[in-house]
Amino acid sequence: MQKNVPIIIVMYLFLFVTAGLAQVPDKGSDPAGSGEKGPAEKLSVTRHAIVLDNEPLDYLATAGRLTVLDNSGKHESNIFFIAYTKEPGTEPSLRPLTFAFNGGPGASSVWLNFGALGPKRVFLPDEGMPPAPPYRIVDNAYSLLDVTDLVFIDPVGTGYSRAAEGVDEKTFFGIDKDVATLGEFIRAYVTRFKRWDSPKFLAGESYGGIRAVLLAHHLHESYGLDCNGLILISPALNFQSFVFGPDNFLPYALFLPTYAATAFYHKKLPPRLSSDLQKTLAEVEAWTMKDYFLALNRGDALPGAEQKEIIEKLNAYTGLPEDYIREKRLQITNRAFSRELLKSQGLMVGILDGRLTTATREWTEPSFLDEPGMVLTIGPYVGALNKHLGRDLGYESDLPYRYFSQEANSTWNWGSAIQGFPAATDTLAALVSQRGYFKVFIARGYYDLDIGYFATKYTVDHLGLPPDLKDNITLRFYESGHQIYVRLSSLIKLKGDVAAFIKTATSQ
């Protein structure tokens, strides 16, 4: 991999807690972020109620920071978390426990918490512009709290999580250190709150997909702490499948079905392909692997007549002009597609969600935080979190809540992966193959131009699992983008799908 590739792509890989001890609410503990209070820091515990699936549910919310130690037992960091646990407490061996985090790298867990899984969510329009503040916070009728306790974790440098005094925060910005630190937090949590007997799941979004896979392996290897499965939302699993480059033709092919879905949504496909999305995508997927991928690999050796046929098909499937496709030598990146599809209307489609649009700016690309999918969620979700912490959970801090750390994102240490493409596919295959009970749920949005949905399908099809274990991986698709839960109908479907998955994975 070229050394600048991870910085470019991770800017668009941003995205995807359980108490039993009542303690004195935290009123601004360790406001300087020094970490000196360490194990003595108090957690804020409050009681709440919600109605889920027409049944009332009482729960505890715990907010605060746990001390994380390094291998020598030295205080190394303070990890902030918000936990929601059903009350009265269910026998730990029966009540599932899910640890959730987003990706980035550099993202806090605010998106999965207030967009999808937690007991509160922010009302957002299904598409279009974000609402004006103040934002409407409502009970999340589609929270997973009725089927699993939830622990939302903010990695060091995000949220209120900080390195201990005298420890360089940058040392946490890397694949290996990130996994080791979150692994130690999870071990400390299940020990402190007596949850070793609970069925355990890891839920990660975007880069959180790789993190979850590696973390599941690390927990087993380092602590003998096994998980029952993974819940992966728009996961990054193999960067080769979505990182464009002069010697990597795979992404050009694997993004094509997402281009077709986006063009379908914006009514840019010919009539034959404009009435049935599923039928259109099935046709595009088949042609992609049979003809397009082969044509890309033949390069200049592709005869003129065959090139003409490929261009005509690409025109039909993407809505892009034939001359433009020819100029690009059949190779359309996601950024190029984003700028070209609605160019005549002065618009470009979003990378995180191809349904969303923003005005074209010829002189520059939108920054990550200006991406329409981010603009839609940042203000509402971060505002909801701060309001919820202070008003409902009794947690106060003078620290700023870092919803996203651009420093972590831009300086991330990819380790040996810098020599190739970061991937967790071998580890994922081993987790499933070595433990017949281990289950994986993967959710993908059709309009995700960040990590095309077909890339995940391709990755799963190449795991090399034994035939009798292929059903251990559940793959579900939604008419949404990278942040699947932003669209209410997709959130409702996601809740049903994940709830069914957890029940199946814990009924063995």
Q: Tokens representing 454? A: 């077909």
Nearest-10 crossing angle of helices 304-318, 277-287: 160
* Segment 347-377, tens digit of pLDDT: 999 999 999 999 887 656 667 778 888 999 9
- Model confidence at 24: pLDDT above 70: no
Residue for token pair 């071998």: 426
Compute the average pLDDT of residues 455-465. 96
With cut-offs at 50, 70 and 90, classify the pLDDT of residue 447. very high
CA–chain centroid gap for 21, Å, is: 30
> For the chain, which residues make up each domain, given as ranges?
5-240+376-505, 244-370
Residues forming a β-bridge with 51 = 56
- Model confidence at 205: pLDDT above 90: yes
* Confidence (pLDDT) at 179: 97
- Model confidence at 86: pLDDT above 70: yes
Q: Tokens representing 394? A: 């009794």
Helix (H) / strand (E) containing 84: strand 75-87
* Confidence (pLDDT) at 171: 95
Look up residue 208 and give its DSSP letter: H
* Confidence (pLDDT) at 35: 39
With cut-offs at 50, 70 and 90, classify the pLDDT of residue 38. very low
Q: Tokens representing 85? A: 């646990």
Give the separation between CA 428 and CA 415, rounded to whole angstroms.
Answer: 19
* Confidence (pLDDT) at 416: 67
CATH 3.40.50.1820 fits 5-240+376-505, yes or no: yes
* Segment 285-334, tens digit of pLDDT: 999 999 999 999 999 999 999 999 999 999 999 999 999 999 999 999 99
* Confidence (pLDDT) at 342: 97
Give the separation between CA 144 and CA 52, rounded to whole angstroms.
Answer: 9
Residue for token pair 């990378």: 351
Residue for token pair 């003129």: 304
**423 and 6 Cβ atoms separated by less than 8 Å:** no
Which ranges in 422-486 belong to alpha helices (H)? 425-434, 453-461
* Segment 243-259, tens digit of pLDDT: 998 789 999 999 999 99
* Confidence (pLDDT) at 90: 65
